[in-house]
Structure 1
Amino acid sequence: MATHAGTPRIAIVGSGFSGIGMAIQLRRMGIESFTIYEAAGSLGGTWRDNAYPGAACDIPSHLYSFSFEPNPDWTRTFAPQREILDYLKHCARKYDIERFIAWRSRVCGARFDAARAVWIVEIERDGAMQTVEADLLIAANGPLSRPALPDIAGLDRFEGKVFHSARWDHDYALEGKRVAVIGTGASAIQFVPRIQPRVAQLTVFQRTPPWIMPRRDRAIDARRRWIYRHIPFAQRLARAAIYWQHESRALGFVVNQRLLNAPMKFARNYLAHKVKDPVLRAKLAPDYTLGCKRVLLSSDYLPALTQPNVALLTEPIREIVADGLVTADGVHHAFDAIVCGTGFQVNDVDAPFRVRGVDDADLGEAWRRDGPEAFLGTSVAGFPNLFFVIGPNTALGHNSMIFMIESQIRYIADCIRVLQRRGARTMSVRPDVQRAFNERLQAQLQRTVWTSGCHSYYQTRSGKVTTLWPGFTFSFRRQTRRVRASDYEFGR
């Protein structure tokens, strides 16, 4: 294996949970020959970028943290964005990771040099291009790093203010403005209640109504925080209880969809309780099985939609014009600002940056053609020594992504150990292993709620689910606990 000062040279892309967690693991292994390349000037990834009003996690705080670094000081059961970002900064400081980060260094592309068994990584830094070499390349920038603007004609013609929720313009005063919100996903249901009291008129454009459950958020009092700080076992017990409570939700999603009947009835009753107007309630009633699209948690979104300065429109948007929007029925709607809560580019898109492997194979081209695909969401055939964290089919619809991230980090660490033990320079998952794994995975997905009839960002345009893990998280942990050398081809 090519080395630098006796250890592999490793390039990590991104400084969110995945990148920081990977760096901590490497340091624990005694490896310090790595660099985290971060496009921004500060760490945090998703939790740095998504600073819109009301941004918070929809997984309870004690589970949405590294298992090795519990935080006894969470102030709420569902942590707000600022606390999560502060937690990540704390982890980076405690484990001395910041000195390994190259700031304002955007990875634009990478090419595998087979003759020398190294990755040539292209980096844009302060407007200038440069290249670095790495023995291993770890893409830890995640699927929620590229905001998706709506594909609506005329967006560039609008003369008012336009921004995406992940690029919130905090300098723009919403007070007294006529504001359009496009999208009703996980971000929109958090910021809509926060901006509704500030604006003159708020119009929410909805394509498909989400299933909404109440968000059982509450403050964590000082006494409980004291207990967690001084009796760590109490917090570990709370974390375990939350984990298994959430893991049980997969029973309805992947084992028996009839188990979803009771929560669907509960959600319908919740909607009826919060929205008395039958016309508005009908617009907000989903017509697909709960879980087919992401289930959203909110206790203030539905009440916000009932306020006199709010309108919910379900008519498709035909085009955007200089002073507003025109819907498919020909009605013109004037606005001062448009906020896009339209999610992220997850499917039917390139790889997170240009990646060329053996024989100049283009990963982005393959993923556009066949949908993103990998082995255990981590390795891709034909791309030696390239590893993904939160790669294809590792996202969840029921539990904490930090659990999945830690599973992949440990798996990648074991890959490095296998390389070192074998004295190999490269490892690449066998094409037949990757193919068989994904055939099994897609067969499993056909029996889940995520292929029950709706279309969501979980799927490509063709309907292939390339985002979600089709089962329990403990199953993924078991499969990634140890690397099977027979799954890989090694090069010296």
Structure 2
Amino acid sequence: MAARYQQPVQNADYSNPTVLIIGAGISGICMAIDLIRRHNCHNFIIVEKSSYVGGTWGDNRYPGSRCDVWSHLYSYSFEASDWTREFSSQKEIHTYLVRTAQKWGLYEYIRFNTIVEEARWSDRLSKWETAVRVSSGSKDAETTDSYTITSDFLVSAVGQLNSPYYPEIPGINTFEGKILHSARWDWNHKTERKKIAVIGSGATAAQLIPEVAKDAKNVTVFQRTPNWVIPREDADIPQWRRNLYRYVPGARRRYRAELMDIRESALFDAIVTNDENGKDLLRSMSLDLMKRQIQNNPKLIKNLTPDYPPGCKRVIISDDLFSALDQPHVALETEKIKSITSDSITTENNEYKVDMIVLATGFRTIEFLYPIKVYGLEGRSIQDIWQGGARAYLGMTVESLPNFAMLYGPNTNLGHNSIILMIEAQSRYISEIIKKVCEAKARNKSLALSPSQQTVQLFNEEIQEKLLKSTYANPTCKSWYKMEDGLITNNWSGTVIEYQKLTSAIRWTDYLVSGSYAKTLTDSNTSHVGRVVEETMIGRFGMKVLFITLSSTAFFVWRHLR
């Protein structure tokens, strides 16, 4: 007879799964698939506040939305895709995630339009009690508009880019035109012949400005600080290459590995470290692009040139931003917004009449888990645990929160590579912990574990020491990577490979383990997790020699077997 954790949740145990996953985006999908394919665990629920899978790639449907990482790196290692462009659009990425969820049968496990309001660890039950609310207007809400899910393990897959940030500008609520956040785009509201204000000039703004400028009457971009912008060099992937990746064994994986090498070496040095040669290269790429695309407008060039090193803030990639900003009907405003009225935006010296305001103001990135309320051992709140800034062991597990883990948590964001590589490493690690909890439950035993305070403290002291030497810590710029006091809570301090190796085994001595199954872990000391090797192992010359050798061998065998 199969253990309970191997069986999907049925009506009788509708609110009592072994595992509860919050979020059906990239992280939640990866976590669910790993539970199935690595540990044959099916007794889990995914709750998703939206009506669709895909997370940020379902939310960010604004014009021009696309990925800033090469398509062949922005996919799961275990689920390849026939990408059509070097940098995929939002639509293609979202379709990929929907297709992956369908292939693995995840819709059976997902409860849409379900909002998590509070998660509380029960010391008495040694389980999580998670209060959820069903969105009004749905059929489920006619049955019950809220209920509590009791689980042995809780996984947060809400990520860092899920709660839009709405700026507090005097008078913003008096505006009578259309206001929308880029992550909540309303395609029913057209931009043709509109006077549009774009507040923000980061990566999102860089993608949507060229698109809305195509048919708007005029566009005013309100920029707080300029950004380093380098060419995207996007292009269609020709059919012959797509066929090569599809039919030639190893070709797609090899291409992905070479892209990985570029991001992990040259790009890492240029963006994350204080390598001056790399920084000079990025500067020259940005300035050359600016000079090519902006004609006879020295003031615009000056206002678009940063005074901080590349990498301090997110480096933007775009093939058309500068040319879009140089159009007669597009204006760049660098003065701080003073107020908003019913039909205009005012700065210290200028007033702009507008019909539509687009907030390209990003997300509440340093408020992890927001707005979910979380309470751990003895009712200790996450606000209390994270006084002074969010922190977690390996960016995943948190002190005083037993049987809890998060994907894309504190200090796991990247400035140089694909976040999916990090998410896969985290999912493998977390699924191994969950496996032990499932084993205990199958034997009618108990198991609860959380990292010790010392473990979390030592880990974070080490990465903060490294981050202080990185470009992210440069005091000349503010970014969503860090808090007001300069503490970097979002970004990882090293390469992806370093993180993969660090998470390739679980040291149970790093955890406070309790329950009747605890001795099994303390006796084993460590558990092997492994990692997906993404980088190239053989250089191009070696590949050429290998190809010639294999071809010669195949020809020799063919001749002697004719």
Larger Rg: 2
Q: In the aligned structure 1, how far is the partner of 2:239 from the partner of 2:226? A: 38
Aligned to 1:222, which of 239, 260, 269? 239
Aligned to 2:55, which of 34, 39, 45? 45
Q: In the aligned structure 1, how far is the partner of 2:329 from the partner of 2:79? A: 44
Deviation at 1:9, TM superposition (A): 0.6
RMSD: 1.5
1:11-50 equivalences in 2 (<5 Å): 11-28=20-37, 29-50=39-60
Pair 1:441 & 2:496 matched: no
Do the aligned partners of 1:154 and 1:321 also contact (CA within 8 Å) in 2? yes
- The alignment-based identity, stated in percent, is 38
Describe the shift of the 1:54–1:254 C-alpha distance in structure 2 as closer, same or farther (beyond 3 A). closer
Do the aligned partners of 1:11 and 1:136 also contact (CA within 8 Å) in 2? yes
* Alignment match, 2:505: 482
Matching residue's letter, 2:462? R
Matching residue's letter, 2:125? R
* Alignment match, 1:132: 149
Do the aligned partners of 2:26 and 2:97 also contact (CA within 8 Å) in 1? yes
Q: In the aligned structure 2, how far is the partner of 1:81 from the partner of 1:294? A: 19
Deviation at 1:275, TM superposition (A): 1.6
Q: In the aligned structure 1, how far is the partner of 2:347 from the partner of 2:238? A: 48
Pair 1:316 & 2:336 matched: yes
Q: In the aligned structure 1, how far is the partner of 2:280 from the partner of 2:115? A: 46
Describe the shift of the 1:421–1:242 C-alpha distance in structure 2 as closer, same or farther (beyond 3 A). same
Aligned to 1:296, which of 309, 316, 323? 316
Deviation at 1:216, TM superposition (A): 1.2
- CA offsets per residue over residues 220-278 of structure 1, 9 Å max, x none? 11111111111141000000001111111112344443131222122222222222310
Pair 1:364 & 2:386 matched: no
Aligned to 1:174, which of 191, 209, 228? 191
Aligned to 2:487, which of 442, 446, 464? 464
Do the aligned partners of 2:270 and 2:282 also contact (CA within 8 Å) in 1? no
Partner of 1:187: helix, strand, or coil? helix
1:53-132 equivalences in 2 (<5 Å): 53-71=63-81, 73-127=82-136, 128-132=145-149
Deviation at 1:98, TM superposition (A): 1.0
Partner of 2:169: helix, strand, or coil? coil
Do the aligned partners of 2:115 and 2:135 also contact (CA within 8 Å) in 1? no
Q: In the aligned structure 2, how far is the partner of 1:99 from the partner of 1:418? A: 24
Pair 1:338 & 2:361 matched: no
Matching residue's letter, 1:357? G
Deviation at 1:332, TM superposition (A): 2.1
Pair 1:161 & 2:178 matched: yes
Query: Which blocks of at least 5 consecutive residues in structure 1 are unaligned?
Result: none
Describe the shift of the 1:215–1:6 C-alpha distance in structure 2 as closer, same or farther (beyond 3 A). closer
1:363-382 equivalences in 2 (<5 Å): 363-367=382-386, 369-382=387-400
* Alignment match, 2:407: 389
Deviation at 1:352, TM superposition (A): 4.7
TM-score norm. by structure 2 comes to 0.84
TM-score norm. by structure 1 comes to 0.96
Partner of 1:433: helix, strand, or coil? helix
Higher relative contact order (CA closer than 8 Å, sequence separation 6+): 1
Matching residue's letter, 1:56? R
Aligned to 1:150, which of 167, 177, 184? 167
Q: In the aligned structure 2, how far is the partner of 1:6 from the partner of 1:308? A: 63
Aligned to 2:434, which of 412, 416, 440? 416
Query: Which blocks of at least 5 consecutive residues in structure 2 are unaligned?
Result: 8-16, 137-144, 516-562
